Amino acid sequence: MAASYISVPRDLTKVKSKVVFNLTKRQLICFSVASLFGVPSFFLIKQISSVSTATMGMMVIMMPFFFLAMYEKNGQHLEVMLGHLIEATFIRPKHRPYKTDNNYSAYERYRKAQTEIDEIISHSRIKRRTK
């Protein structure tokens, strides 16, 4: 009698539920949108130029949708990674200086402020005496 083994992944968080044709819901949606844009573009381009050019044009139009469906790195999909890239490149400031606030510098600021207050008070007392 031959034993049959089924491989079970150790990390169950990486297991995705498959819907149809061993594809996830996300992949089905992205492939459907890709075919919605790609197939009509093929026929439109084919009227203007050759079949090989139309095929290449269709592939160029459909490729971003395929990347959206399939690409995932460190648990993040392509649009999340692009959002982080856009935020880091265009939205956030380029120069982000490193600032610390340790107890010693806070004490120095307090001491400096206290000496300025003492000087202001002493000058105001001197002015009152001279009046």
pLDDT reported for residue 72: 87
Residues 72 and 23 in one domain: yes
Q: Does residue 85 belong to any structural domain of this protein?
A: yes
**Tally of structural domains, the chain:** 2
Q: Model pTM?
A: 0.56
Looking at residues 41-47, what average pLDDT do you find? 96
- Determine the structural domain holding residue 118 and report its residue range: 103-131
C-beta separation of 35 from 63 below 8 A:
no
CA pair distance 81, 99, nearest whole angstrom: 28
Residues 82 and 117 in one domain: no
Is pLDDT at 55 greater than 80 in this prediction?
yes
Residues 23 and 79 in one domain: yes
Is pLDDT at 10 greater than 80 in this prediction?
no
Q: For residues 71, 72, 78 and 84, what is the CA-based torsion angle, rounded to 10 degrees?
A: -150
